[in-house]
Amino acid sequence: MTCFKLAKLSVAFFFLTVTSAVAAPAEQAPGWLQQAAAVSVPTYDKDTPAVVLRKEQAVTVASDGRITTVTTFAVRILTREGRAFAQAGELYLTQTGKVREMTAWLIRPNGFVKKYGKDQTVDRISNPNDIYDEYRVRVIDAIDDADEGVVFGYQSTSEERPLFNQDIWNFQNRLPTLVSRYTLTLPTGWMATGVVFNYKKLEPTVNGSVYTWELLGLDPIRPEPASPALRNLAPMVAINYFPAEVGSPKAFETWSQVSRWGAQMYDPLSAPDETVAAKARTLTANAKSELDKIRAIARFVQNLQYIAIDIGVGRGNGYKPRPPAQVLAKAYGDCKDKANLMRAMLKSIGINAYPVFIYLGDPTLVREEWPSPTQFNHCIIAINISEETKAPTVIQDAKLGRLLIFDATDPHTPVGDLPDEEQGSLALVVAGDSGSLLRMPTLPPDSSNLDRQTEIVLTSDGSITGNLKERSIGQTAVNERRAFRSLSNPDYKSMLENWVTRGATAAKVSKFLTNDDSESGKFDLDMEFSAPHYAQDMAGRLLVFKPAIVSRRESVFLTEPTRKHPVVLDSYAFTETVRVKLPGGFDVDELPDPVKIEVPFGSYKTSYEVKAGELLFTRSLAQKAGTIPADQYQSVRSFYQRVRAAEQAPVVLARK
C-alpha cells in the first residue's frame, strides 16, 4: 500500500496546497446539447470509439475584418477508449485573438449533468518545444469523468483579427459525424466563395449575407497503415470572403496574388548588408563554378542551428523572415530565416534566388484550386541558375528560367537533392508578378538507393563472421546520415548491434567505419561482425540458415485482409549481394527457389548460385512512390507477403 508523505514539520511556513473538492449542485445542459443527445445514433462497428453528434462553427465577420466564432460541439462516447474525445480545445493567438468564453457539459446516461466552466479550464502553450510560440490552446478536459454512453459537449466564443479573409472548415475528423455545419455571416455587401475538397459538389445555402455549408451522416474514417493523410480523405471547404465590389487583398484569387503578398514581405529583407556579403565572399572564395558557390553558401546556411522564435504571428510575422544580418549574428534561425539569409548571400555574389512556400510532410496536400498562404508550413529556396549548372533538382519555369530547388533547413540533404516529403509537391515560388505555383522536382528512383555487399564465412558449427559494406545515395543516404549524426559514437555502435542482432542472435560488431560525404550525397558504412551458431546444426547432418542476414523482412506492415483507402508508397530501392563461404565437408542440399516479382508499383528479385564452395545470394527491391487504389490492395499486400516469405527461406547444407 502506498501513501503520500505528509509534511513532517508543522511549522506554519511549510507550505501545503490543498485542493478541496466541492460537490457541485446538479446542472442543466443547454437546449442544443439536450437535442443533440436525444438523437438516435446509427450502429457502427464495435471499435468506433465515439460519434460526433454536432460539429458546428458560426463565424461572424465585422466590417472592420474582425471575426467572432462560436464553436458548438457534441460527441457521444461509445467505448472506453472514446473517452479521449471528451475534451474541448480552442486554439488562439495571443496578440490578435482570444477565447472569450468556453463552457462544457457532460451528460451521463442517467441524465446527470456536470458543467465545466472557467475553474476547470486550462490555458496552455500549443507547442512546448518552441523557444517561443504565440499559439495557445484553451482546454477543458472531461476525460476522467467520461465513460461509455455519456454525451460531452461544449460551446466557445472566440474573437480574432485574422491575417487573411480565408478560412477552412474540416467537416469531420476520423469519427463518424451526424451533423457538420459551417455558417458565415458577412457584413452587408460582402460575399463568399468556397472550394470543396474530398467530396462531391457542395453548394452553400445563402440567406442574405449568411452562407451555410452543411453535411450530414458522415461515415468514420478509420486509420490504416500507409494511408493518405486525413486531410486528403475528410471533406473540407476552403472559403474566401470579401467586399463584393472591391474584393480584398486578404482573400487571394490567384497564386500570383499570393506571390506578390509574399514578395512584399521578403524582398525588402533580402538585401545583404556588408557582414552578410563579406561572409558570402569568404565562403565562396575558393569556389570555381556557379554550383560550387551555391554549395558553399548552402552548406553554411544549412548547418546553422534551427531555432524557431515566432513573435507577432497574428500580424504576419509567422511568414516574415528576420533580417539576414541578424540571423548571421545569432547563428540560428528557422526555415524562412535560413532561406532568406541564403538568398541574401547569393544576391551579394550576383546570383538571384526566390523563397519558395511549401508544405513539409506530405507532397500531396497542397491544392491548386485554392490560392492561399495558409496551405504551407515551410520555406525553401529556388535559385536562378545558368545553363552551366546541372543538377537533378532543377526545374524550368517559363518566366523565371532555370530554378535549382534547395531546402536550406534540412542539414542532411545536399544541393542537388530534395527531401522525400517535398519531392513532387506543389509549392509557390515567391517572385512577385512572376511567381507561381510550381510542381517540385521528383528524383528518379535510382537516385536514392542502398547497395549492400556482405561477405560471410560460415563454419561447420554454424557460426559466422562477416564483412558488410553499404553504399547509400540520395534520400537513403540522408536517412543513414540522420541516424549517424544524431547518435554519439557508442550509441551508434549500439544501434548497429541492435540492427544486426535482430537477424543474428548474439551478434557482435567488432569494427565499423563510416564515410559521411554529404557534399556528394553519399553515406558509406563498413562493418565487421560475428555471430555464434547463426546456422542451426540439425543432428550433425544438416546446417540450415537464412542468407539474408541483416534487414531481413520478418513481418509485413499491411496485415489487415481488407482496406478502404488507397495505399501510399514512398520511393525506395536497395540491392544486396551476400557471398557465403561454405564450410568444408558440406554440400548444398536445398536452395530456395529464386523469386521474381514485377508489379506496377515495384519489383523484387532473389537469386541463388553455388560456385567454388561459395553461395552467392542476391536480392533487390525497388518500390515506386505512388498511390495505389484500394481495389488493388490485395496485390500490394500479396507483394510484401511474398517478399517476406522469400527472405525467410532457408538454405540447407548437408554433411558429405
Site for another protein in 531-570 (CB under 8 A): 533, 536, 538-539, 541-542, 544, 554-557, 559, 561
CA–CA separation, 359 and 421 (whole Å): 9
Burial class for 541, CB neighbours closer than 10 Å (0-12, 13-18, 19+): exposed
Site for another protein in 298-327 (CB under 8 A): 303, 305, 307, 309
Site for another protein in 132-151 (CB under 8 A): 132-133, 144-145, 147-148
Among 35, 289, 635, 648, binds another protein (CB under 8 A): 648
Residue closer to another protein (CB basis): 365 or 542: 542
**Biggest alpha carbon distance in the chain?**
95
Q: What is the dihedral of CA 105, 106, 107, 110, to 10 degrees?
A: -140
DSSP-derived pairing of the beta strands 508-517 and 378-384: unpaired
Residue closer to another protein (CB basis): 1 or 246: 1
Query: Using the rule CB under 8 A, is 119 a contact of another protein?
Result: yes
Query: Using the rule CB under 8 A, is 27 a contact of another protein?
Result: no
Among 66, 98, 108, 222, binds another protein (CB under 8 A): 108
Among 91, 123, 229, 587, binds another protein (CB under 8 A): 123
Query: Using the rule CB under 8 A, is 23 a contact of another protein?
Result: yes
Residue closer to another protein (CB basis): 148 or 292: 148
**Count of CB atoms situated within 10 Å of the CB of 134:** 21
CA–CA separation, 343 and 353 (whole Å): 6
Q: How far is CA 82 from the centre of its chain?
A: 25
Instruction: Give the count of residues interacting with another protein (CB under 8 A).
Output: 84
- Nearest distance, CB of residue 539 and another protein, angstroms: 5
The angle formed by the CA atoms of residues 327, 331 and 337, to the nearest 5 degrees, is 35
- The C-alpha cell at 613 is 564452395
CA–CA separation, 240 and 196 (whole Å): 12
Query: Using the rule CB under 8 A, is 18 a contact of another protein?
Result: no
Among 508, 581, 605, 655, binds another protein (CB under 8 A): 508
- The C-alpha cell at 211 is 452562407
Q: Is there a contact between 88 and 102 (Cβ–Cβ < 8 Å)?
A: yes
- Select from 125-133, 344-352, 446-454, 564-572 the region that touches another protein (CB under 8 A): 125-133
Residue closer to another protein (CB basis): 503 or 626: 503
Residue closer to another protein (CB basis): 254 or 648: 648
- Nearest distance, CB of residue 551 and another protein, angstroms: 14
CA-based nearest residue to 521, from 627, 415, 373, 596: 415
- Select from 207-215, 419-427, 451-459, 589-597 the region that touches another protein (CB under 8 A): 589-597
Contact map string, positions 67 to 86, toward another protein, x by CB under 8 A? ------------xxx-----
CA–CA separation, 192 and 159 (whole Å): 20
Among 296, 437, 509, 567, binds another protein (CB under 8 A): 509
- Nearest distance, CB of residue 242 and another protein, angstroms: 36
CA–CA separation, 405 and 443 (whole Å): 12
- Nearest distance, CB of residue 312 and another protein, angstroms: 13
- Nearest distance, CB of residue 86 and another protein, angstroms: 12
Query: Using the rule CB under 8 A, is 9 a contact of another protein?
Result: yes
Q: Return all residues near 123 (Cβ < 8 A) that are at least 6 apart.
A: 136, 137, 138, 139
Among 34, 120, 352, 627, binds another protein (CB under 8 A): 120
Residue closer to another protein (CB basis): 411 or 566: 411
CA–CA separation, 154 and 88 (whole Å): 6
Query: Using the rule CB under 8 A, is 15 a contact of another protein?
Result: yes
- The C-alpha cell at 639 is 507483394
Residue closer to another protein (CB basis): 147 or 159: 147
- Nearest distance, CB of residue 23 and another protein, angstroms: 5
The angle formed by the CA atoms of residues 12, 13 and 17, to the nearest 5 degrees, is 95
Q: Give the torsion sign (CA, 143, 144, 150, 155).
A: negative
CA–CA separation, 642 and 333 (whole Å): 47
- Nearest distance, CB of residue 559 and another protein, angstroms: 6
Contact map string, positions 325 to 344, toward another protein, x by CB under 8 A? ----xxxx------------
DSSP type of residue 110:
T
- Nearest distance, CB of residue 84 and another protein, angstroms: 11
Query: Using the rule CB under 8 A, is 201 a contact of another protein?
Result: no
CA-based nearest residue to 283, from 351, 332, 337: 351
CA–CA separation, 341 and 334 (whole Å): 11
SS (H, E, C) 279-304: HHHHHCCCCCCHHHHHHHHHHHHHCC
- Nearest distance, CB of residue 170 and another protein, angstroms: 26
- Select from 131-139, 195-203, 212-220, 379-387 the region that touches another protein (CB under 8 A): 131-139
- Nearest distance, CB of residue 555 and another protein, angstroms: 3
DSSP bridge partners of 170: 236
Q: Which residue has the cell 457521444?
A: 76
Site for another protein in 592-611 (CB under 8 A): 592-593
- Nearest distance, CB of residue 618 and another protein, angstroms: 18
Q: What angle in degrees, to the nearest 10, is found between the helix axes of 335-348 and 274-283?
A: 80
Residue closer to another protein (CB basis): 370 or 640: 640
Among 131, 246, 285, 398, binds another protein (CB under 8 A): 131
Site for another protein in 39-68 (CB under 8 A): 46-47
CA–CA separation, 635 and 280 (whole Å): 53
- The C-alpha cell at 96 is 490578435
- Nearest distance, CB of residue 389 and another protein, angstroms: 28
Residue closer to another protein (CB basis): 199 or 557: 557
Query: Using the rule CB under 8 A, is 645 a contact of another protein?
Result: yes
Among 84, 122, 206, 513, binds another protein (CB under 8 A): 122
The angle formed by the CA atoms of residues 251, 254 and 260, to the nearest 5 degrees, is 80
- Nearest distance, CB of residue 534 and another protein, angstroms: 9
- Nearest distance, CB of residue 34 and another protein, angstroms: 19
Query: Using the rule CB under 8 A, is 229 a contact of another protein?
Result: no
- Nearest distance, CB of residue 80 and another protein, angstroms: 4
Site for another protein in 463-492 (CB under 8 A): 485-490
Q: Which residues of 180-202 are buried (b: 16+ CB within 10 A; e: fewer)?
A: bbbbbbbeeebebebebbbeeee
Q: Which residues of 326-342 are buried (b: 16+ CB within 10 A; e: fewer)?
A: bbbeeeebbbbbbbbbb
Among 159, 214, 497, 516, binds another protein (CB under 8 A): 497
**What is the helix (H) or strand (E) element at residue 648, kind and residue range?**
helix 633-648
The angle formed by the CA atoms of residues 478, 430 and 381, to the nearest 5 degrees, is 25
